[in-house]
C-alpha cells in the first residue's frame, strides 16, 4: 500500500485507459507470485466450487486473460476474465474510460473491446490450473444472432473455465440489456442450457442494477428453471446519482463508490426474490471489508471488485479478506456460509 501511494500520482497522470494497459502489461511480465494463504474460515463453496476466499476480481480488468495468475497471486480468491466475444472487436472510440477521482468512481464505455475468444482460449490453455478463474462471455456488437454468440462462447470457453458468466448487462453494447427482458431471457437461457456439456463448468448470469419492480422475481425464476448456478449482482449503472467530477456527464456505465447503495439494494431484492435458493455474487461499489461484509450479510456468498483498485491498489483484495476473517471472529461465525443473509 505504501508503494502504491508513492506511484499512484504517476499512474494517474496518464489517461485512464493508458494507465490500465500499462498495468496489465507490467503484470504480464512480472514473476508470478504463489497463491496466498487465507484464514480457513473464509473458504466457501458455491456451485460445487471451493473458493479459498470470497473476494474476487470482477470482469473488465483482465479482458484478454493475460494476467489471471498474477491477480490470484496478489490476493484474490478468484479471478473473472473477459468480457470475451466470439470474434475480436475494437470496442468504442477513445476516450472511453474516465476516472472520477472526487467520487472514487469510474465511467466506462469500452464496448467489449477484446482479442476474441480464440486468443484467450490459447492463453488459458497454456496456464497451469491453480486457483479459480471464471470466463465472462458476451456477444459481438455487429452480430446478427446474439444468442448464437453466447452459445458459441459456452462451447468454446468451457474447457478452460472454472465457471462461465453470461454477461447480458453491459450498457455499452446497444440493445444488449434487452436480453434481460422476459421472452428474450427465456430464449437465451434455454439456448445456453442446451449448449452446456453434462460435465461442463457452472454458469453464472450477470445482471444490471437498473431494473424495475418485478424484474427480480422474473429473472430469478428464469435462472432457476434453466439451471443457472448463480447470479452476479450487478454490472455498472446508466443512472447518475449526484457526482462531483467534471466527467459526470460522460456516457457509459458508472462504477465505484456511487454505485454502492444501488448495488446493495438490488442484491437485497434478488435475495428476497430467490429466498436464498440461488447463490448470489455481489459487485458494485465494494472498496473495503465493511462493504464486503454488508453484501455477505445481505445474501452474497461471494463478492467482486474492480474500480476500487484504481484508488486503493493491488493489495486491496487481501486486506478485505483479512478484514472479513476478523468480522467472522468478532460475530462468532465459523464460516462465510454461516454469515450469508444474516442482516
Q: Known binder of ligand: residue 235?
A: yes
HSE at residue 89, side-chain half, CA atoms within 13 A, is: 20
pLDDT digits (tens, 9 = 90+) for 191-225: 999 999 999 999 999 999 999 999 999 999 999 99
**Does 1 have pLDDT greater than 90?**
no
Q: Known binder of ligand: residue 77?
A: no
pLDDT digits (tens, 9 = 90+) for 145-158: 999 999 999 999 99
245 is catalytic: no
pLDDT digits (tens, 9 = 90+) for 22-80: 999 999 999 989 999 999 999 999 999 999 999 999 999 999 999 999 999 999 999 99
pTM for the predicted model, two decimal places: 0.96
Q: Known binder of ligand: residue 306?
A: yes
Second CATH level (architecture) for the domain 2-339: Alpha-Beta Barrel (3.20)
Q: Which of 41, 143, 169, 170 is catalytic?
A: 170
Q: Known binder of ligand: residue 332?
A: no
Mean pLDDT of the chain: 95
The string over 208-236, giving b where at least 16 C-beta atoms fall within 10 Å of a residue's C-beta and e elsewhere, is bbbbeeebbebbbebbeebebbbbbbbbb
pLDDT at 311: 94
Amino acid at each position: 500500500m505504501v508503494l502504491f501511494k508513492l506511484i499512484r500520482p504517476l499512474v494517474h497522470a496518464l489517461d485512464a485507459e493508458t494507465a490500465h494497459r500499462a498495468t496489465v502489461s507490467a503484470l504480464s511480465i512480472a514473476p508470478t507470485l504463489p497463491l496466498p494463504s487465507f484464514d480457513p474460515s473464509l473458504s466457501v463453496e458455491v456451485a460445487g466450487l471451493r473458493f479459498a476466499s470470497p473476494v474476487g476480481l470482477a470482469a473488465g480488468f483482465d479482458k484478454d486473460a493475460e494476467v489471471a495468475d498474477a491477480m490470484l497471486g496478489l490476493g484474490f480468491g478468484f479471478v473473472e476474465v473477459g468480457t470475451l466475444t466470439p470474434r475480436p472487436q475494437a470496442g468504442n472510440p477513445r476516450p472511453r474510460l474516465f476516472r472520477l477521482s472526487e467520487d472514487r468512481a469510474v465511467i466506462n464505455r469500452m464496448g467489449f473491446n477484446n482479442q476474441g475468444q480464440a486468443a484467450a482460449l490459447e492463453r488459458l490453455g497454456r496456464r497451469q490450473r491453480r486457483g479459480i478463474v471464471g470466463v465472462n462471455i458476451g456477444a459481438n456488437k455487429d452480430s446478427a444472432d446474439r444468442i448464437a454468440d453466447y452459445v458459441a462462447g459456452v462451447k468454446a470457453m468451457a474447457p478452460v473455465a472454472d465457471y462461465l458468466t453470461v454477461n447480458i448487462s453491459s450498457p455499452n453494447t446497444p440493445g444488449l440489456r434487452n436480453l434481460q427482458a422476459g421472452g428474450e431471457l427465456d430464449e437465451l437461457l434455454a439456448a445456453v442450457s442446451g449448449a452446456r456439456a453434462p460435465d461442463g463448468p457452472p454458469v453464472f448470469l450477470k445482471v444490471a442494477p437498473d431494473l424495475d419492480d418485478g424484474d427480480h422475481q422474473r429473472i430469478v425464476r428464469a435462472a432457476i428453471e434453466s439451471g443457472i448456478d448463480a447470479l452476479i449482482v450487478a454490472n455498472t449503472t446508466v443512472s447518475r446519482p449526484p457526482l462531483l467530477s467534471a466527467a459526470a456527464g460522460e456516457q457509459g456505465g458508472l462504477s465505484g463508490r456511487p454505485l454502492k447503495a444501488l448495488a446493495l439494494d438490488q442484491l437485497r431484492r434478488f435475495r428476497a426474490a430467490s429466498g436464498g435458493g440461488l447463490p448470489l455474487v455481489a459487485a458494485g461499489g465494494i472498496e473495503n471489508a465493511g462493504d464486503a461484509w454488508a453484501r455477505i450479510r445481505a445474501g452474497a456468498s461471494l463478492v467482486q471488485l474492480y474500480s476500487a483498485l484504481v484508488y486503493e491498489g493491488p493489495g486491496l483484495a487481501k486486506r478485505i479478506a483479512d478484514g472479513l476473517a476478523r468480522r467472522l471472529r468478532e460475530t462468532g461465525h465459523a464460516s462465510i456460509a454461516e454469515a450469508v443473509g444474516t442482516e
